[in-house]
Every structure is written in structure tokens, then in C-alpha cells.
Structure 1
Amino acid sequence: MISKIYELQKNQPLKVKQIKTWLVENENYVNFLISESNCRKWVEWLQEKSTHIYPCICSNREQNCILIETYYKLDRVIQLHQKEEYFNILVQEYKQIASDNVATSEWFKTHKKLASEIAFDTEISIMLELEPYKTSKIILNENEFKNIIEFQNIFNELEYNQIIK
């Protein structure tokens, strides 16, 4: 099972096309693993893809669960990437109003909920063991997420400046 994760890691940084291919190739297998898993949270996610999954706290991680979590995190990355053009629109909106403090404040308030929900990072960590703590990293191609990253950077800067004022 871990070999499927190593497939991803040898091609880093990962491109969206590679992730999509890996997800399709492993979908049936992951669905089977979910049906066999002792961890019921994955069944909930399979039934309702919008369900938020909390990080695993099992002291001894099952190999199947590690693969399922990897699949889950990459699936979320693809779902977010599908909104890349939308984030481009938001970034362009901001650039047009950046010099207007009132409009910028309104833009910030309007998109605050969205910004708090994405929490995107180009480095995905998968916990392999709780004690001693050990993770596996998957690195994404930043260029394919540039609008999401720029939106987050703008938002973080605005939030930081609001705290300072």
C-alpha cells in the first residue's frame, strides 16, 4: 500500500494531471479499503464527500488508513484546484480596489469565510506514526495553484494589517 504513495513521491513536485491520474487509478482500491477499514470516518466521507475529516490520532496507523488519507487529501487538492479560475477572479477584483481602503475592507469581509475554509499548502503531510512522530510529504507544483496561493497571501496580509491597526 505504501508503494502507491511512493509512486507519487518519486515524481515531485506533483502536477495536477499526475494527481488526477493517481486518483482514478486508485479509486476502486481505496473504496474497497474504506469498506474494510476499522476507522468508520472514511465511510462517512465516502457517503458524503463534503464531510470534514479530522486528522487521525491512532497511535498505530494502519497502512490502509494511510493510503486512504493520502487519497482523501489529494482529492481535496483537486477539488480546490477546480476553483483556480474563481480565485483568479477574486485576485483581479482585489487588485482593482487595492488602493481603496473601504472597498478593500469590504472585499476582506466578503471573502473571510472562504479564506478560513481553504487552508491550502503545497506541501501535504501524511502522518505515518504518532509515536515517534513520523510523516510522509507530498509536494505539489506551485505554478498550478498560483491564484489560490496569491489569494491566501493577499488575505493573510490584509488580516495581519487589520490586527496591527
Structure 2
Amino acid sequence: MNWWLLKYENEFKEAIDQTTCKKWAKWFYKGEHPYPCVCPHRDNICVFIDLYRELDRLTQIQRMENFFEECFNKFQSIKDSKEMIISWMKEIRPTISNIYLTLDKNENLKVRFFNSDPIVEVNINKNDYKYTLLCLDIFNYNMYVRGF
């Protein structure tokens, strides 16, 4: 992914100025949050920008894998203590609340854009996110199932 992002970085920046809706320019130059596209059929330039942004986001998450490995190892040592789990959750909550990874029904990590023609789908090696996914599962289980 990093290679692809580097290869298309200039095209990405040029594409931002070429979009007709200008939402990407507002995001890139002014820091405004880009809302999801509601166009019935997306412009290929917008699909490219969205794909680039999503892959860039995934590489940033992947860089945190060592952090999540440490978090997972810490959890393994405290998993029998409700108080320690709650403390662990408080520690990682600020980081984990900014991360979302979606697995499909077959437990594959994918990036998909349905309102493009053709539908854009990229398979991501979920092994690169092993500890991130484990920590997300542990956090969500303890938060929403156990109610910690």
C-alpha cells in the first residue's frame, strides 16, 4: 500500500483540484470534514481520492500495530481483574476510538465503494492488523457485552 500511495501521491493532489463538487479541496486546503458522497453515480476522480484517503488511513493504523501488540500483551497479563481491564480500556480508549476497521461476512478486511462504476473493492491483508483487530475485539466485547 505504501508503494501505491507514493506512486500516486501527485495524481492525488492534482485530482483534488479537478473535482466538480470541490468538497475535497475544502477538506485538503481548509481542513473541513468531507461528508460521504451522496451522488447516485460517483465521478471516477472522487472514487480515486476516496480510495487514496482510505488506503492512507489504513497505513497510518498499520503503523500503530506495535502499540496494539503491547496493549494486547498487557491485557493478557491483567485479563482476570475487572479493575485492571477498566483501567486498560481507559488507557487505550482515546486511540481506539479513532480507529475503525470493517470485516466482511467472511472475516476479510476490505475497502469498498459501491456507488462507483465498476464497484471498487480492495482486499487488505488483515494479518498486518492482527493486534489492532484483537484489541478492537477485546475493547468492544468488554465495553458493549460486559458493560465495563
> TM-score by structure 1 length?
0.76
Alignment partner, residue 61 of structure 1: 42
Alignment partner, residue 115 of structure 2: 128
Consecutive unaligned residues of structure 2, counting only runs of 5 or more, are 103-108
Alignment partner, residue 23 of structure 1: 5
Determine if contact 1:66/1:127 at 8 Å carries over to the other structure: no
Deviation at 1:55, TM superposition (A): 1.8
Alignment partner, residue 3 of structure 1: none
- Kindly indicate whether residue 137 of structure 2 is the aligned counterpart of residue 150 of structure 1: no
Indicate the SS of the match to 1:159: helix
Higher helix share: 1
Which of these residues, 49, 52, 58, is aligned with residue 77 of structure 1? 58
Consecutive unaligned residues of structure 1, counting only runs of 5 or more, are 1-18
Note the alpha carbon deviations across 1:79-114, whole angstroms, 9 max, x for none: 111111111111111111111111111212332332
What code does the residue aligned with 1:153 have? D
Indicate the SS of the match to 1:32: helix
Deviation at 1:127, TM superposition (A): 3.1
What code does the residue aligned with 1:139 have? N
Identical counterparts, % of pairs: 25
- Tell me the matched-pair count: 142
- Over the aligned positions, Cα root-mean-square deviation in angstroms equals 2.3
